[in-house]
């Protein structure tokens, strides 16, 4: 991954975004045939420090709710229910805010590869405000969207698994990433614990059906918060 030569590859994005804080379409560009909202999992910590992602379906089952009902409880911070109906602690560490978990980013890239032109370049934009952002990215061209400025990088799709943080042990995902043919786009708003993907109907359906992901269908006019 390297600093982009200029910001031209991102020129299409601002015109396809809703005004700031006006629904899903203010986070991910409109115009795709279908969209999915992918949830970042909370984490259970073992005594030895081992981290285990906790499935939303397991949180829901522990409270005798469907996964859809559990997700409807989410507020803007997307904090899942921490205790079961019996009082058992279900997770210890909240979902990642503003960054896709590494395993989900890598898994998404593997799926999305099939829905873009082989060997095409990929583009990655990351919010300028992350304190841990590697300083070498701060020389990159700037993509300006409502209330946000992002640095633009380019590379290959598998490189999404490389952290953008200057701390090698901490994974920092791009805020936006897409292939050269714009067949799909992935967006993670800096204040959210979920991400959006826009793409073709077959692409999004595969994400919704994938057992490794926990996702629901959405659309650009839907509220970012799950509740109404």
**Reported confidence tier of residue 76, pLDDT bands at 50, 70, 90:** very low
Q: What percent of the chain has pLDDT over 90?
A: 60
Which tens digit of pLDDT belongs to each residue from 16-44?
999 888 889 999 999 999 999 998 888 88
How many angstroms separate the CA atoms of 69 and 65, rounded?
6
**Reported confidence tier of residue 93, pLDDT bands at 50, 70, 90:** confident
How many angstroms separate the CA atoms of 211 and 208, rounded?
8
How many angstroms separate the CA atoms of 126 and 87, rounded?
39
**What is the pTM assigned to this prediction?**
0.88
How many angstroms separate the CA atoms of 120 and 186, rounded?
16
**87: three-class secondary structure by DSSP:** coil
The pLDDT of residue 79 is: 63
The pLDDT of residue 228 is: 32
Residue-range domain boundaries for the chain: 2-40+96-218
Residues 143-148: what's their mean pLDDT?
A: 93
- Distance spanning both ends of the chain, measured CA to CA: 40
**Strand spans (E) along 23-135:** 34-39, 43-45, 51-53, 122-127
Of 109-118, 133-142, 175-184, the least confident: 109-118
């Amino acid at each position: 991954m390297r600093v982009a030569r200029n910001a031209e590859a991102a020129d299409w994005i601002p015109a396809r975004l809703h005004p700031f804080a006006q629904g899903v379409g203010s986070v991910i560009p409109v115009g795709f045939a279908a969209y999915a909202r992918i949830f970042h999992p909370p984490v259970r910590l073992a005594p030895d420090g081992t981290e285990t992602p906790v499935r939303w379906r397991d949180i829901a089952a522990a409270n005798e709710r469907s996964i859809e009902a559990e997700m409807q409880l989410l507020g803007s911070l997307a904090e899942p229910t921490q205790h079961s109906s019996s009082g058992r602690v279900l997770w210890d560490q909240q979902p990642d805010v503003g960054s896709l978990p590494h395993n989900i980013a890598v898994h998404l890239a593997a799926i999305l590869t099939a829905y873009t032109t082989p060997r095409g370049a990929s583009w990655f934009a990351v919010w300028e405000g992350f304190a841990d952002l590697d300083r070498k990215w701060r020389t990159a061209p700037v993509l300006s969207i409502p209330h946000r400025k992002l640095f633009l990088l380019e590379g290959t799709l598998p490189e999404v698994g490389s952290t953008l943080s200057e701390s090698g042990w901490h994974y920092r995902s791009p805020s936006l990433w897409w292939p050269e043919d714009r067949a799909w786009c992935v967006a993670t708003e800096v204040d959210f614990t979920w991400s959006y993907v826009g793409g073709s109907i077959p692409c999004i359906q595969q994400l919704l059906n994938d057992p490794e992901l926990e996702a629901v269908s959405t659309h650009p006019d839907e509220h970012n918060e799950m509740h109404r």
